[in-house]
């Protein structure tokens, strides 16, 4: 394990270049102080709710931060897609809240409808516009979705929606690509993430976004910042500020975790669990009516 002065775990035992928690013994849950998730986009076909449900079943934490775009209201307004895996993600989060995990939901731009509920607590889940997280080793982190720093979303929503259409097209290609890989016995691999890295303008936009978010945290006196929004998992120090993006559960399937001693790591769940998802989803789940009730799961 390699550590740096910013409290980031740079070990790469998950095979994807991210510092992940060591694999526990068979059947044992992973225990973290805090877990940060964002950009799940429940309500879309591109959402890997099956991966996320698998992750949530195997972790325990004191705090769970849902850092925006958990539900995709933009897509649900256009067409309805919701299968049993999406139900299970909601059920597992609520079960964590019932069993003592502090759950904080910070809505993003795709689930902005929940911003009308800021300050309320619903089923044990507290809604907030942003949050301050105090790490185990005493650092103050600003936690926010990050869409306020995306100039396209902030100043021209029509253009943002147009861009969202193009992005949805890329995600559909990603879904079909991985369906073919799965049938030939290959693990999940994000075509859309690879395409994003090949576009020079996208790389520059990500860099500008990261710099703007880190600058905001520094201006407000924070030691670091946790955000989502751009579907690009990252941990690095920018001008003395620890910048951490927890990624997404559409392309990269990553989570940001804090260990008991204040170390942070990015967990690449698709890479760690690559042998578990060769089988295609059951056809009956793909076509299940949104009002159909799943089988009850013990709490």
Is 108 within 8 Å of 118 (Cβ atoms)? no
Dist CA 236 CA 234 (whole Å) = 7
H or E stretch at 208: helix 200-219
End-to-end alpha carbon distance in the chain: 36
| Average pLDDT of the residues of the chain | 80
Q: Beta strand 224-227 with 241-245: parallel, antiparallel or unpaired?
A: parallel
CATH of domain 30-286: 3.60.21.10
Residue 44 and residue 82: Cα distance in Å, rounded?
7
Please write the tens of the pLDDT for every residue from 240-287: 999 999 999 988 899 999 999 999 999 999 888 763 443 334 444 444
Q: What is the mean pLDDT of residues 43-63?
A: 95
What pLDDT shows up at residue 21?
A: 41
Predicted confidence (pLDDT) per residue in 152-203, tens digit: 545 444 445 445 555 566 666 666 666 676 677 766 655 555 555 554 456 6
Token readout for 121 is 């607590």
Residue 204, pLDDT > 90, answer: no
Tokens of 253: 């399937």
The per-residue pLDDT for 89 is 98
- pLDDT of 164 reads 58
Q: How confident is the model at residue 26 (pLDDT cuts 50, 70, 90)?
A: low
Residue 170, pLDDT score: 62
């Amino acid at each position: 394990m390699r550590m740096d002065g910013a409290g980031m775990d740079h070990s790469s035992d998950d095979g994807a270049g991210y510092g992940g928690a060591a694999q526990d013994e068979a059947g044992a849950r992973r225990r973290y102080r805090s877990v940060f998730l964002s950009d799940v986009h429940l309500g879309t076909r591109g959402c890997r709710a099956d991966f996320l449900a698998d992750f949530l079943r195997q972790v325990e934490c004191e705090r769970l931060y849902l850092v925006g775009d958990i539900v995709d209201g933009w897509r649900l307004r256009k067409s309805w897609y919701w299968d049993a895996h999406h139900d299970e993600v909601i059920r597992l989060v609520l079960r964590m809240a019932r069993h003592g995990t502090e759950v904080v939901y910070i809505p993003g731009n795709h689930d902005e409808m929940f911003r009308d509920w800021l300050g309320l607590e619903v089923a044990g889940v507290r809604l907030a516009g942003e949050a301050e997280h105090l790490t185990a080793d005493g650092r103050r982190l600003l936690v926010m979705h990050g869409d306020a720093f995306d100039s396209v979303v902030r100043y021209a929503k029509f253009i943002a929606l147009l861009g969202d259409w193009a992005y949805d097209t890329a995600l559909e290609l990603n879904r079909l690509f991985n369906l073919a890989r799965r049938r030939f016995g290959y693990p999940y691999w994000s075509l859309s993430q690879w395409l994003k890295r090949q576009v020079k303008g996208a790389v520059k936009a990500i860099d500008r976004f990261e710099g703007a978010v880190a600058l905001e945290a520094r201006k407000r006196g924070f030691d670091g910042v946790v955000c989502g929004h751009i579907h690009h998992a990252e941990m690095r120090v920018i001008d003395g500020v620890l910048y951490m993006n927890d990624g997404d559960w559409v392309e990269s399937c990553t989570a940001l975790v804090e260990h008991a001693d204040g170390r942070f790591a990015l967990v690449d769940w698709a890479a760690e669990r690559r042998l578990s998802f060769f089988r295609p989803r059951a056809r009956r789940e793909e076509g299940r009516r949104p009002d159909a009730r799943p089988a009850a799961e013990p709490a």
